[in-house]
Amino acid sequence: MLRKVRKVVIPAAGLGTRFLPATKAMPKEMLCVVDKPIIQYAVEEAVASGIEHIIIVTGRSKSSMEDHFDIAFELEATLRERGKLDLVREARKVSDLASVSYIRQKEPLGLGHAVLAARDLVGDAPFAVMLPDDLIDSPRKAALRQMIEVFERTGDPVIALLKVALKDISAYGVIKGEQDAKDPRIYVLQELVEKPKMEDAPSDLAIMGRYILTPDIFEDLATTARDKGGEIQLTNGLRALSTRRRLLGYEFEGMRYDAGQKLGFLKATVDLALQRDDLGPALREHLKSLGL
Ligand code: G1P
């Protein structure tokens, strides 16, 4: 069986209502953390994980994303005229990252529906899904890479997991699983439930926005019933798939920020800026001067 993961699907069709008015004319995935749009963090993690082809599922206002990952001729020409060759290289780095395709999710019918929209572009091979709101900083090894390695060893679909406080659990898909005796980061999944009430949550292990999937998931997504809100949930498709094959959960190593929420977005901005040689020392001084 083919175990090479070359493609990633990045759903980026949300309305971004939490960030209005910033997202009135711009997709939330283009909001900037330090000096890069949120979606670029996901694309860079994918490339660092060996992914060659990025499929972005867009809704409205996709043109700014397309422009971002394309070559900016006019910008480059102006920068070149001004002798700013380092900035030309910086702009080019983005478009050189990977080959990017776009597909439109015509109706906002949920995450499972967004993944299903990429079916033809994915074809008959294993693929990854990344939700750009989950910004993961893992300096040692990209979180997606960690998961791809589990998939390459086992051939089983792999879902990212993170322990979260029970009071927050209802915001997530939640699993119950049996921890692997040899590798405590791995769980064999027994239950998956999307956004349960706290008292119904089967554990404190929440699903995070990184998945390594096999193409048989598309059949499940195509037949998964819509939920109460009329959406097709990826978690429900995965539960159907789990009746036919083994699914694994993986507690990845790395710091995850919920960049889809204002507080998580701010934390990511501060932490990632503090790590930078050009910004860290001055920002640290500033934070100290606040005497918090
Ligand atoms: C989605 C998934 C959910 C998962 C979460 C991770 O929910 O449906 O299972 O736990 O991403 O961020 P959303 O945040 O899009 O509502």
| CATH of region 7-280, choose from 3.90.550.10, 3.40.190.10, 3.30.230.70, 2.40.160.20 | 3.90.550.10
Please tell me the distance between residue 174's alpha carbon and the centre of ligand 1 in angstroms.
10
Please tell me the distance between residue 249's alpha carbon and the centre of ligand 1 in angstroms.
15
**CA atoms of 214 and 2, how far apart (whole Å):** 10
Please tell me the distance between residue 93's alpha carbon and the centre of ligand 1 in angstroms.
30
Q: Is 257 in the pocket of ligand 1 (CB under 6 A)?
A: no
Please tell me the distance between residue 171's alpha carbon and the centre of ligand 1 in angstroms.
7
Q: Is 173 in the pocket of ligand 1 (CB under 6 A)?
A: yes
Q: What is the DSSP string of the chain?
A: ------EEEEEE----GGGTTTTSSS-GGG-EETTEEHHHHHHHHHHHTT--EEEEEE-S--HHHHHHTS--HHHHHHHHHTT-HHHHHHHHHHHHS-EEEEEE-SS---HHHHHHHTHHHH-SS-EEEE-TTEEEE-SSS-HHHHHHHHHHHH-S-EEEEEE--GGGGGGSEEEEEEE-SS-TTEEEEEEEEES--GGG-S-SEEEEEEEEE-TTHHHHHHHPPP-TTS---HHHHHHHHHTTS--EEEE-SSEEEETTSHHHHHHHHHHHHHT-TTTHHHHHHHHHHTT-
Q: Is 235 in the pocket of ligand 1 (CB under 6 A)?
A: yes
Is 19 in contact with 140 (CB distance < 8 Å)? no
- Determine how many CB atoms are found less than 10 A away from the CB of residue 253: 13
Q: Is 192 in the pocket of ligand 1 (CB under 6 A)?
A: no
pLDDT tens for the chain, 292 residues long, are 678 999 999 999 878 889 999 888 889 999 999 999 999 999 999 999 999 999 999 987 678 888 888 888 888 899 999 999 999 888 888 778 888 999 999 888 999 999 999 999 999 999 999 999 999 999 999 999 999 999 999 999 999 999 999 999 999 999 999 999 999 999 999 999 999 999 999 999 999 999 999 999 999 999 999 999 999 999 999 999 999 999 999 999 999 999 999 999 999 999 999 999 999 999 999 999 998 8
**CA atoms of 81 and 65, how far apart (whole Å):** 26
Q: Is the pTM of this model over 0.75?
A: yes
Please tell me the distance between residue 47's alpha carbon and the centre of ligand 1 in angstroms.
22
Which residues are CB-contacts of 244 (< 8 A; sequence separation ≥ 6)?
Answer: 216
Domain edges within the chain: 7-280
* Paired sense of beta strands 173-179 and 53-58, if any: unpaired
Q: Is 231 in the pocket of ligand 1 (CB under 6 A)?
A: no
Instruction: Give the position, in ligand 1's atom list, of the atom nearest the Cα of 173.
Output: 9
The reported pLDDT for the residue numbered 179 is 97
Pocket test for ligand 1, best of 207, 213, 252 (most atoms within 8 A of CB): 207
